[in-house]
Amino acid sequence: MSKLTCIIIEDEPLAVKVLVDYIAQVPFLELQGTFKDAILATDYLRNHAVDLMFLDIHLPKLKGMAFLKTLTHPPGVIITTAYHQYAVEGFDLNVTDYLLKPFEFERFLIAVNKVRKAEQESPKTATSQGAKDYLFLTVQKKKVKVLFSDILYIESQREYIKVVTTKATYLPKLSTHEIEALLPVNGFRRIHRSFIVSISRIDSYTADYVEVNGVSIPVGRGYRHVIENL
């Protein structure tokens, strides 16, 4: 049985201890590290891939939700917090589960089993992408081949997205989260709730906007760390 690698991002020592103890009781979980703030976790994630994060919301330096928005291709996320009012925002960001402190082991096990099930059922996108440099988009009932290298940026259009390439603009019925999961992790960055840009196509940038092929694209307030790390 393959294990799910995980990290803990939590600044309360007691909460860290509880999570470490719970993880040790689950045979399919493998703890890779614990981090007291999101900045340290960001440094780790630059060079290490993990399957799951246990993420607190009220962290020093960078809050949990703001940190989550900076990740272009986040792993499975289980929020651990004492504050229930962030649940809706968390699920908007596609977190797998939301644990309210203090939580029992049984509730913890339900959450990690959700991640495990999702991991088993999802296609291994990253592996398949290693051998190809394109995707197919469904546009007006037709499958259109689009090279990753041709994509300039992607913009949310409610239930559709606008994929702007060097050759044409397409409007497939997808969410930004769905298209983000299909893109090469190292080639694209989400810089706004509604925009994903190709890194290689960025001509210039400031803290407030990115310029791609003569188009100024806004940088969301919660995504400025992405720009700083370019």
pLDDT at 193 over 70: yes
pLDDT at 87 over 90: no
Of residues 158 and 148, more confidently modeled: 148
Domains of the chain: 4-122 (3.40.50.2300), 128-228 (2.40.50.1020)
Residues 78, 107 contacting (CB under 8 angstroms): no
pLDDT digits (tens, 9 = 90+) for 88-135: 555 566 788 889 999 999 999 999 998 888 877 665 444 334 446 888
Average pLDDT over residues 73-80: 88
| Tokens at 43, concatenated | 């440094």
Task: Quickly tell me which residue has 């996108």 as its tokens.
Answer: 125
- What 8-state DSSP symbol labels residue 15? H
Helices (H) and strands (E) in the chain, counts: 8, 15
Residue 127 pLDDT? 39
Residue 135 pLDDT? 87
Of residues 126 and 222, more confidently modeled: 222
Chain-centroid distance of CA 105 in Å reads 26
Closest CA to 102 of 3, 35, 28, 21: 21
Task: Say what percent of the chain tops pLDDT 70.
Answer: 90
Residue 128 pLDDT? 38
Q: What is the dihedral of CA 111, 112, 116, 119, to 10 degrees?
A: 80
Task: Classify residue 195 as exposed, middle or buried by CB count within 10 Å of its CB (0-12, 13-18, 19+).
Answer: buried
pLDDT band at 184, cuts 50/70/90? confident
Residue 130 pLDDT? 42
Residue 230 pLDDT? 67
Rg of the Cα atoms in the chain: 18
Cα distance between residue 135 and residue 81, in whole Å: 38
Give this prediction's pTM: 0.54
What is the average pLDDT value for the chain, to the nearest integer? 86
Closest CA to 182 of 138, 132, 129: 129
Residue 175 pLDDT? 86
Residues 169, 144 contacting (CB under 8 angstroms): no
Average pLDDT over residues 61-89: 79
Of residues 186 and 93, more confidently modeled: 186
Cα distance between residue 160 and residue 158, in whole Å: 5
Cα distance between residue 193 and residue 70, in whole Å: 10
Give the amino acid at 69: K
Cα distance between residue 220 and residue 209, in whole Å: 9
**What's the longest Cα–Cα distance across the chain?**
55
Task: Quickly tell me which residue has 């081949």 as its tokens.
Answer: 145
Give the amino acid at 141: K
Of residues 141 and 154, more confidently modeled: 154
CA quadruple 172, 175, 4, 186: dihedral positive or negative?
positive
